[in-house]
Structure 1
């Protein structure tokens, strides 16, 4: 009892000392000196120095003083950091287990060529938050993602880099309607926008847009002069244009194009039937659709795969390109089935296999005709029935949600 009373007295004395006017004056003096030092350094140099810090250090520096927070929350720093991050893109992984979703990332290798061994890549854990059932998770769009919680009937925007998220406002909809949402980015105005469609039975009846970052978190009705049905659940945003698959009035497959800046619609006729279920990818800055023989995945028995590349959206012109896989593709190292992820800036197709541990990512360099399998480490503890996915070309964005 005496020992416990002594400890309590010591803690009380520490609180009294830390809260004393003399201590507060010394702390204030140190903060003033730090702020004065910051004011003596050119702002461009300050931004350059801070941009070299890891994300966790930037988060701590925001708490040093109001002066530091003002710099690190400002648009000049966040835009400069984003510009540098575009040159060091990452792989972003998500794993849904039970009632939560976790995000991890790793450095995206450049020019991977290692046929004799199986290199490894370690991941960093970003965030885990509760989700009753994440029905759809959008592709990473300039660092942000849009997630649908089917049980709670809510949509959440999250930034894994800052570990922040917020729920989108509810939409006014009709009874028994279904909502589909896509996330896009306008690189000119540097704005994220959410495109939403309200479906009744098989057709889209309403189109609405919400702009992030303009201080007005409300949905706006927009016009769409292109009737379409059965919009796909996935999309891709390339150079300010959001693409998703759908079917037209004649039941033909089509690619719907939504210009994020002008909020205008257009469409492209599909290159072939069945494209409604294909994977859309960014191939050297152009929209492309993948297809492997008669399926939309690759297996260890596959000898080749094809992609359709959109050469001219206005003329609805596509070109087909066939890639023959090297002989080592059929080796035991290749899992039975792998799915398309995308294409890197260094001409490598990326495939993923998450059917069981360990998890692998495959790089096929079609210029050098080589295959490399990379084992992903740091995501242990996941069972075969957990839902795991991967996004290519993810960028770190330090923009805080409160700025929206």
Structure 2
């Protein structure tokens, strides 16, 4: 009886292998394209045919090439600002050199944004802060492209990057020019901080174009973070709005799912091709997903108190909690908690699985760590236009 059972299992496996091996290449690639990155890597070990299909340049845009590897962030001390990188992926990805030593030498460099494997950096050439360039680089391939600065770049604190390797190897850089910079009025009036002009650089065209910004008063100080999805840049802003601008310069906005309150931390992220909005107030975390932009329909995905999530350890009013990113493939959020334990100040990084409700401590980032915490998904397959 046992021999018959084993023979039946062997026959079943042979039939399964035969059915899969009979699939045409295009159908097999379509099936593989629905798998997450780590599963795709495992499939390369099935056979030489599968390995070649997954590695073929014609299929790279369709197949999942990478997943969240870690975070870039800065640390502050009394002497200087340093760049750091924290892995969250185990050992599947080689170490990242946070110094970005492959870039051309400059007096000072800051990472402003990260989008689908590319970093947007601001590089000062000498001690004169007016002499600078932007650099867009790929840490996985160590390739980079210089983006010329505008007349206002030296006076701006924020710029954003838009890039989708599935669509094109070209990228866009967004500059947001407040009224006081554009008009040269530094009176300190509240309205002077509102965005008056948006500059957009296209790597395909190789030039900047600029245009008038939103009709409503959108302040640059409230641009906490951003998310780039289907050619549209989403930014949290004041007036309980999420501001949007596409690569052609069309400005719009969508009403936030919850009114802002003083001291709240709110942001937007992309996960599984959807836009998520997070709000962290003094007692709980709330997370929504945007179901329909045209009707501003948000669906609440999570609402959990800090007490339920962390327990009494993080109950002090001096503690600070903030969602910093969403996993691109899984229903997982990354959260930092700043708190004081006895005489020590700590900044701890957690992951929270919204399906299993599992909270996992990843590491202590160090008390000197600071925003922005930029999630990094390595990009191995794409080349930058005009790269070095």
TM-score band, normalised by the shorter chain? 0.5 to 0.7
Secondary structure of the 1:281 match is: strand
1:204 and 2:183 are equivalent in the alignment: no
1:143 pairs, out of 97, 113, 117, with 117
1:370 and 2:348 are equivalent in the alignment: no
1:347 pairs, out of 326, 331, 348, with 331
> Which digits, 9 at most, give the CA deviation of each residue in 1:341-375, with x for residues without a partner?
22222212211357789874312222222212123
1:254 and 2:241 are equivalent in the alignment: yes
Q: Distance in 2 between matches of 1:265 and 1:224?
A: 7
Cα 1:278–1:226 change in 2 (3 A) is same
1:281 and 2:262 are equivalent in the alignment: no
1:46 aligns with: none
Matches within 5 A, 1:133-282: 137-138=112-113, 140-148=114-122, 152-153=129-130, 154=132, 155-173=134-152, 178=156, 180-186=158-164, 187-201=166-180, 202-212=193-203, 214=204, 216-222=205-211, 224=213, 226-231=215-220, 232-247=223-238, 252-260=239-247, 262-274=248-260, 278-282=266-270
Q: Are 2:233 and 2:244, in contact at CA under 8 Å, matched by a contact in 1? A: yes
> Which digits, 9 at most, give the CA deviation of each residue in 1:71-90, with x for residues without a partner?
xxxxx84x855665644332
CA RMSD of aligned residues (A): 4.1
Q: Distance in 2 between matches of 1:82 and 1:360?
A: 35
Cα 1:363–1:211 change in 2 (3 A) is same
1:305 aligns with: 285
Q: Are 2:161 and 2:172, in contact at CA under 8 Å, matched by a contact in 1? A: yes
Cα 1:82–1:397 change in 2 (3 A) is farther
Q: Report which of the two structures shows the higher radius of gyration computed on alpha carbons.
A: 1
* Displacement after TM superposition at 1:189 (Å): 3.6
1:15 aligns with: none
Aligned residues: 297
Q: Distance in 2 between matches of 1:244 and 1:122?
A: 30
Q: Are 2:66 and 2:379, in contact at CA under 8 Å, matched by a contact in 1? A: no
Q: Are 1:85 and 1:395, in contact at CA under 8 Å, matched by a contact in 2? A: no
Secondary structure of the 2:310 match is: helix
Q: Distance in 2 between matches of 1:327 and 1:224?
A: 42
Q: Distance in 2 between matches of 1:177 and 1:224?
A: 18
* Displacement after TM superposition at 1:141 (Å): 0.8
Q: Distance in 2 between matches of 1:391 and 1:320?
A: 24
Q: Distance in 2 between matches of 1:94 and 1:83?
A: 30
Secondary structure of the 2:368 match is: coil
1:33 aligns with: none
Structure having greater relative contact order (Cα 8 Å, sep ≥ 6): 1
Unaligned runs of 5+ in 1: 1-75, 110-119, 296-301
Q: Distance in 1 between matches of 2:347 and 2:294?
A: 41
Cα 1:384–1:107 change in 2 (3 A) is closer
1:403 aligns with: 386
> Which digits, 9 at most, give the CA deviation of each residue in 1:285-306, with x for residues without a partner?
33222123x34xxxxxx5x421
* Displacement after TM superposition at 1:171 (Å): 1.0
Cα 1:166–1:96 change in 2 (3 A) is farther
Q: Distance in 1 between matches of 2:117 and 2:241?
A: 28
* Displacement after TM superposition at 1:281 (Å): 2.0
* Displacement after TM superposition at 1:317 (Å): 2.5
1:106 aligns with: 87
* Displacement after TM superposition at 1:332 (Å): 4.7
Unaligned runs of 5+ in 2: 1-55, 181-192
* Displacement after TM superposition at 1:159 (Å): 2.1
* Displacement after TM superposition at 1:385 (Å): 2.6
Secondary structure of the 1:307 match is: strand
Q: Are 2:88 and 2:362, in contact at CA under 8 Å, matched by a contact in 1? A: no
